[in-house]
Structure 1
Amino acid sequence: MFSYRHAFHAGNHADVLKHAILVQILDYFNHKDAPYWVIDTHAGAGMYALDGEWAGQSGEVIDGLDRLLGAPQPPELITRYLRAIQDFNPDGVANRYPGSPALTLHALRAQDKLRLFELHPTEIEVLETTLRHLGTSRRQVAIAREDGFTGMKRLLPPPTRRGLVLIDPAYEDKQDYRHTLQAVRDGLERFASGCFAVWYPLVQRVQAHEMARAFERLPVEWVHATLTVRKPSADGLGLHGSGMFIVNPPWTLHEELRAALPWLTKTLAQDEHARHTLTSSAQSAVSAGASAASPVKAAPQSRRPADGRTAPRAGRAPAQKRSPSRK
């Protein structure tokens, strides 16, 4: 149950999609003065050292965040995300990768609240240390060592009646797909106006595809985006892409994704099978794209963008092949 450590996958292509969307949603929430809550059901460690033992060994960031750094003409969805990453790396070299708790705290205002759930005994210790270093207030942030699928129920609806629920399990257990779907259904019964953002892996498991189809049958407003970066492996292992399903999304999200997904597909493509999809409850037609370019090579190790954006760490280790459980 506790074998998964997200540090191995920090900053990979799945994190790029998930966190770029997360930052966009939080930015949208901040356009109104009214306070809101963010509930993160599977918080992880909060911050990851890209030159550390885990991320440094895997090198997955090379085919994720590193490809974005210095890439020409990023769309607004990506520019906003990269600005947030830069704020955690003031020296201009991307050695620290903020997870969803850190990115959320970066966006929250004094009147907003963050509630975090994490079961992994090591991850929650690191998370607590991360939050102390970020100087968070106990009145603003609360951490529970508890199953987020069940813990979120007692927090809904939040007192503010404005909120985001981020659901991001490891999907090591096939039951996580069923639990995720049920969590959204239960959440909507308690908090019908809430925004629910679900990340899931594109892997060769029937449960992932069944869950996505079930989400699209929900009688609510939704946006569904997927990003595939390579052809699935012959052995059926590994992560070839990921998806984000957002219930009650910001009205601006669909258009920002429509501009960003083709750019991400081209920038993160590992082979000619890279593509994306974008669907919504309002417009069910699928917009799919495929990169016609050759697979994009990893960013040069010492590259520093001319415009001052955060650069990848010099000497980033090349990726070692390993079959991740999700990201």
Structure 2
Amino acid sequence: MNYRHAFHAGNHADVLKHIAVLALCDALTAKPAPLFALDTHAGRGLYPLDGNSAQRTGEAEGGIGRLLAEAPKQPAIGRYLAAVRACRAEHGPAAYPGSPWLLAHALREDDRIAACELQPEEAAQLKHHFDNDTRVAVHARDGYTGMKALLPPKLGATRFNRGLVLIDPPYEAQLEEFDTALGALRDALARWPQGTYVLWYPIKRRRSLQSFYRRAATLPAKSVMTAELLVRADDSPLRMNGSGLLLLNAPWQFDRTLDAVLPVLARTLGETADASAAIAWLKQGD
């Protein structure tokens, strides 16, 4: 696998994903019972946006850079920007937090986090970042096999009845990745049906995702929805024009949270007049 997230850290896709992750953590921690969070493709957890990789693409400027400059007055976006600033206060003015850092930032002392990363160098960096955080277990392994091994979650005598699974693969196999991800979700739901699951996916041409939407709607979850952000028209197969989140068993009224966020992101991060955002229910719970 050749993918390195350092080239793309802080871009518009990260902004969408990380705002949603923090909002999900806040919704889930509203209840006192401990949570388990699994990040299946965790990366290194922390990225320097002044490093060669990020500077080479410049993608962060159109994502977190633009959002920090505009600082929209919207609560979920403000929550995310505060987390980024907290990360920079700890790690330097150019630091950007990956999803494992954000999970550790948002969750509580009695919650537990498992982070899987297959690439040895990335896994070593991830482990280094969390050496002193006993809540976080780093697994140098494939994230899909990690789902099989770690779900349903149990640590000692503690069984976790609630929690979050974030699946953020690199899509090096392109559309074939959807087959793998949907199969992993179906298997995970059979073993831990009460979990909240989030699958991030890139959007080039939306019409190529129709089969994915149809199959996602058949997953054995109580609810299935998508939240998508396009920064330009979805008419080019050669670049990522936007991205989406497939959310299974999202907390009650979480669609309202995203409905307030997405138009603001489209206005702030959009690169052309064709920028757009939308929520769609594929299966709506009772």
Q: Same fold, TM exceeding 0.5?
A: yes
1:13 is matched with 12
Which SS does the other structure have where 1:42 is aligned? Answer: coil
Shift of 1:206: 6.8
1:90 is matched with 89
Shift of 1:204: 3.7
| Cα contact 2:204–2:235 (8 A) shared by 1 | no
CA separation of 1:246/1:72 partners in 2, compared to 1, >3 Å: closer, same or farther? same
Shift of 1:223: 2.5
Cα deviation, 1:102-160, whole Å, max 9, x if unaligned, reads 0001112111111111111221122122223xx312xx221112111122112222221
Shift of 1:4: 0.5
1:229 is matched with 231
1:76 is matched with 75
User: What letter is aligned with 1:61?
Assistant: A
Which SS does the other structure have where 2:26 is aligned? Answer: helix
1:169 is matched with 169
Which SS does the other structure have where 2:70 is aligned? Answer: coil
1:127 is matched with 126
User: What letter is aligned with 2:120?
Assistant: P
Is 1:27 the counterpart of 2:42 in the alignment? no
1:146 is matched with 141
| Cα contact 2:71–2:78 (8 A) shared by 1 | no
Which SS does the other structure have where 2:88 is aligned? Answer: coil
| Cα contact 1:76–1:256 (8 A) shared by 2 | no
Percent same amino acid at aligned positions?
Answer: 41
Q: Which range moves more in the overlay, 122-131 or 81-90?
A: 122-131
CA separation of 1:58/1:73 partners in 2, compared to 1, >3 Å: closer, same or farther? closer
Q: Which range moves more in the overlay, 118-127 or 266-275?
A: 118-127
1:278 is matched with 279
User: Any stretches of 5+ residues in structure 1 without a counterpart?
Assistant: 284-327
Cα deviation, 1:171-199, whole Å, max 9, x if unaligned, reads 00133211100111111100111100110
User: What letter is aligned with 1:231?
Assistant: A
Q: Which has the larger radius of gyration?
A: 1
Shift of 1:26: 0.6
Shift of 1:237: 1.1
Give the TM-score taking structure 2 as reference length. 0.91
1:242 is matched with 243
| Cα contact 1:74–1:263 (8 A) shared by 2 | no
Is 1:160 the counterpart of 2:160 in the alignment? yes
Which SS does the other structure have where 2:201 is aligned? Answer: strand
1:311 is matched with none
Select the structure that is richer in helix.
2
Give me the whole-angstrom Cα distance separating, in 2, the residues matched to 1:157 and 1:215. 21
1:136 is matched with 133
Give me the whole-angstrom Cα distance separating, in 1, the residues matched to 2:208 and 2:263. 27
CA separation of 1:136/1:207 partners in 2, compared to 1, >3 Å: closer, same or farther? farther
User: What letter is aligned with 2:61?
Assistant: I
Shift of 1:49: 0.2
Give me the whole-angstrom Cα distance separating, in 1, the residues matched to 2:166 and 2:147. 10
Cα deviation, 1:59-101, whole Å, max 9, x if unaligned, reads 1011101111142543222111111111111289851100011
Shift of 1:205: 8.1
Alignment RMSD: 2.0
User: Any stretches of 5+ residues in structure 2 without a counterpart?
Assistant: 154-158
CA separation of 1:104/1:167 partners in 2, compared to 1, >3 Å: closer, same or farther? same
Asked which structure has the greater RCO (Cα within 8 Å, sep 6+), the reply is: 1
- Give the paired residue count: 277
Q: Which range moves more in the overlay, 147-156 or 239-248?
A: 147-156
Give me the whole-angstrom Cα distance separating, in 1, the residues matched to 2:280 and 2:73. 22
Which SS does the other structure have where 2:130 is aligned? Answer: helix
Shift of 1:252: 3.3
| Cα contact 1:225–1:245 (8 A) shared by 2 | yes
